[in-house]
Amino acid sequence: MIRTGRMAVLVAAVSAAALLSGCDDKQPQRRSQIGTPQGQQEQVVYRTLDACLAQAKDMDGVQACRDGYAQAMAKMAEAPKYETQSTCEDVYGPGNCVPRESVVHEGGGGGWFVPYMMGYMIGGGFGHSTAYYPVYVDRGGTTYAGGYGNGTASTVVSNPGWHGGAPAAIRPSSSSVVRGGFGSTAMTSAVHTTGG
């Protein structure tokens, strides 16, 4: 029944990995950096064509919105492809994938699923300041601009500024999480440990 064992193995791991290193990582990593990295300029993303048109100052602006939307839609041909709807939704969330032929009209090669275009933007982080790109959002809320080159490239949009409303996957990080609902009793009592 007793009692000795192979503690040495774990203790090495405990003291090195968890216990000692744990002392200096007290600063919690408050991530949720999507949309708030320091020193990074907000990148305008239009949720819809209408969201872009609403901001157009003149007829040139209106034309740029229309052309840009068409360009972005055309680049949906290079959107990431998935064999089934469910594998696509695993990445982009339920309801956020569509049959490829519904957005790409090039004939042939049917049966694929692609993420729904959640918006479009100029530049897309590819260094092409005049080209427009489709924007996707994965289920974790990360925003990508994609569709440059041979169909595999995409970039993370680190600080998207959504015009026309952010997609649902992004909203939790900005609005629906509340904190501080546990711990108040410990704050108001003078115990030095909550253990016993």
Partner 1 sequence: MQRQLITARPDWQASVEAIGFDFHTFDAAPYWSEESFWAFTTAEIDGLEKVGNELHGMCMQAVQQVIDDRRLALFGISGLAEDLVKHSWERKDPHLYGRVDLAYDGSGPPKLLEYNADTPTSLFEAAIVQWYWKQACFPQADQFNSLEEGLIERFRRLMQGIPSQDPRRHLHLSCVMPNVEDEGNLKYIEACAIDAGFTTTRIDIADIGWDRGREKFVDLDEQVIARLFKLYPWEWMVKESFGFNIPIAGTQFLEPAWKMVLSNKAILAQLWEMFPQHDYLLPASFEREKIMAQSPLGVVRKALLGREGANITLYDASGSVLESQDGAYGAEGYIWQARAPLARAGARGSAVLGVWLIGDEARGMGIREAEGLITTDMCHFVPHVFS
What's the min distance (Å) between Cβ of 9 and partner 1?
9
- In the complex with partner 1, the residue whose CB is nearer, 155 or 173, is 173
Least distance in Å: CB of 95 to partner 1? 14
CB 13, min distance to partner 1, A: 6
**61-84 b/e with 16+ CB inside 10 Å = b?**
eeebbeebbebbbbbbbbbbbbee
Nearer to partner 1, 57 or 179 (CB): 179
DSSP-derived secondary structure for 41-110: --EEEESSHHHHHTT--SHHHHHHHHHHHHHHHHHGGGS--BSSHHHHHHHH-TT-EEEGGGT--S-S--
**Quick one: 48 or 173, whose CB is closer to partner 1?**
173
Nearer CB in complex with partner 1: 27/41: 27
Using CB under 8 A, list all residues that contact partner 1. 1-7, 10-11, 13-15, 17-20, 22-23, 26, 28-32, 141, 168, 171-173, 176-187, 189-196
